Structure 1
């Protein structure tokens, strides 16, 4: 099995060593999978409400469909019934109704009556998840998974990757004109995840090197220069945009200010990239670990319990004060994931404590044992809220939180599962 060293470094009393804890993680993951299955619609997957039902009219969402396809593909590799057909449905829809068959690429929602959707821009964020889904489907042997991967990489490489900048471009019009005057950390962060998965599946190390270049730009340059407070919004000339979305601070993808949940998510990805480079080429920049540690601590210092109640807040301003106090579930999931990764990488007891603290919070506040799934968002008093995220649409972050502690840091999810289960 890959990456034996971190397993040896775990403290003897770590939850990660305990079979009951590992069974609990597996059980929680399967509960999430079962809750999510009604999200299937004719053209992909749609968002569920708080009770796990499809509110009318239920329209396929391409980003959600790609995320679901990724999760179901990895779950099918674990031998979990029902997941393989759902992954195949996702692949078929990404190759069919969700795809732009005129100019290639993917729309955020399917065309209606032969007309482009109202928002027909091609988004880097979505395309990163299409590539991730396709890579996972390929590993799992999902029909047409490789065809989807080939199509996704062709678009990703031709239109989104900027060799000169070492990052992914943000968005274009449907015909690939009108490039957006924006460079964003969020889409590039998820592109790092997808790049590592694609490198594992294709065997092409160029994708791993691209992930490293993105990390060098956003983290080892921009975040490090800001003492590991990560500004996320820039124009195409790399001028920071400090007032971006000041009037829409609860934007779901590009909120005003900074996002501590992203600090810790980057931390986890840096450790995965370090492990991937060590596993495949025997060396990795030493700063990947240093930056990962610094980002985690910055995220927890500025985001956790900043208003007296537990939980990681959504955003902070340039004075490092909370802007949106609500606690999205994905922020907690990524904080836990980063703590687990740092624990496996370093063996330090502080990360065991954070791992337990965050899971205790998720268990007591976010796991919905009455209606199912996870509550997607809590307010500053840890009551259910829907200011940023309504319903229970997102399987991706929560489910990955239940499986990440069970896997090594490298290779990526689908490949690691294929090695672990065989």
Structure 2
């Protein structure tokens, strides 16, 4: 078994990078840092990135109460409250400019979910009533504007004033559909964390409904892979397999059920089936590939940083609930690949990813709208917690 100190050092590598390189003296955090650690000072700042920074440093502070972690989390909290939360219409802006002025004001529900996730972790770490109150307001925004009372589930995006939006895509690579697995997964994650600090009956019901929606609509009963895009009536609109999302959802679904007290053997079996499905994307060197499109027989055998991080957490969780050593062996192989190939031991943080031949993917961020400290730090925290031997030494 890998020495637990290796995970502690890897976590500090991430946290130190964000504290040393990303803090913007003008306020908050820089919006973009290139692979060579060069800052792009005029880059927009994203609500998702700032929420993920907030979650990361609040979670780190909970595990190891260092003042620097609390200060970084508080910096993110203050910036989100001052610049991202829309005080007129509710919700959060997708981006602000480098000076903190609203830029893209659409209401992407995915961004609200991550903001709830960050705020609730900060509330849990510090006891902040202000953070919890902000999270509850955003939860109510989602329930008021995004929840589909007829068909269930949540609609993807809206204009600033919550009117209909023609282009609801989360990113350019996504399908323009009204419901997506990705947004539902992170609403589930956010609601789970909110329920930990706010035992509201309505929230518990909605969290349970989300779990049911996954089981009924977003997990293919034949393949156990996730359905990524769906229309308003839950009709599948994509057959693309995302191995990282498969393995991420496997443990987040079971975690949500445990938190609201509705865990059962069927859900545990479903989680293991999803892990087994995801493991069909494992490369010979232990890494987890990015995507596969069955209808075209097309593989994307890139090895993205976040996919490897989710493989870490999902495989340890699968071993924990099954006792099957094969999952622990696969975890060791993924971790060894990350340590050798993905962690930037000199420059800090993790590289975006590698091609199939392990050459570096060029032109990708070290920090940006999508490159964040959340997946990798969370994986390290989860693995350490699940192995029950987490201790940061510095």
Name the TM tier (shorter chain): 0.7 to 0.9
Task: Calculate the TM-score normalised by the size of structure 1.
Answer: 0.81
Equivalent position SS for 1:391? strand
Q: What is aligned with 2:49?
A: 64
Query: For residues 31 and 115 of structure 1, do their structure 2 counterparts lie closer, same or farther at Cα, with a shift above 3 Å needed?
Result: closer
**2:275 aligns to what?**
296
Unaligned runs of 5+ in 1: 1-14, 243-255, 410-416, 418-422
Q: Do structure 1's residue 23 and structure 2's residue 2 form an aligned pair?
A: no
User: Counterparts of 1:138 and 1:97 in 2: how far apart (Å)?
Assistant: 19
Kindly tell me: are residues 381 and 109 of structure 1, through their superposed partners in 2, closer, same or farther at Cα, counting changes over 3 Å? same
SS, match of residue 316 in structure 1: strand
Partner residue, 1:44: 28
Q: 1:274 touches 1:289 (CA, 8 Å); kept in 2? A: no
Q: 1:400 aligns with which of 360, 378, 382?
A: 378
Contact persistence 1:325–1:380 (CA under 8 A): yes
Q: Distance in 2 between matches of 1:172 and 1:182?
A: 10
Structure 1 residue aligned with 2:307, among 318, 331, 338?
A: 331
Write the distance in 1 (CA, Å) between the matches of 2:193 and 2:377: 17
**Which secondary structure state, in structure 2, belongs to the residue aligned with residue 44 of structure 1?**
coil
Equivalence map 1:300-319=2 (5 Å):
300-301=279-280, 303-305=281-283, 310-319=286-295
Q: Report how many residues are paired.
A: 370
| Counterpart-to-counterpart distance in 2, 1:81 and 1:154 | 32
Q: Distance in 1 between matches of 2:317 and 2:44?
A: 36
Rounded Cα–Cα distance in structure 1 between residues aligned with 2:341 and 2:101: 43
SS of residue in 2 equivalent to 1:96: helix
CA displacement 1:21-72 (0-9 Å, x = unmatched): 2222122111210011232234533232223342232432111000000111
Deviations 1:164-197 (A, max 9, x none): 4332221000100005551000111111111111
Structure 2 length normalisation: TM-score?
0.86
- Residue 166 (structure 1) aligns with: 152
Kept in 2, the 8 Å contact 1:313–1:322? The answer is: no
Question: Residue 236 of structure 1 is aligned with which of 232, 237, 240?
Answer: 232
Instruction: Give the match for residue 269 of structure 1.
Output: 252
- Matched with 1:200 is 196
Offset of 1:356 from its aligned partner?
0.8
String of CA shifts for 1:313-341, please: whole Å, max 9, x gaps: 22110248443221111111111111111
- Note closer, same or farther for the CA distance 1:310–1:350 as it changes in structure 2 (3 Å cut): closer
Contact 1:139 1:201 in 2 (8 A): yes
1:396 offset after TM fit, Å?
A: 0.4
Greater shift after overlay, 208-217 or 399-408?
208-217
> How far apart are residue 160 of structure 1 and its match?
2.4
Unmatched 5+ residue regions in structure 2?
A: 169-176
Match of 2:65 among 74, 79, 93: 79
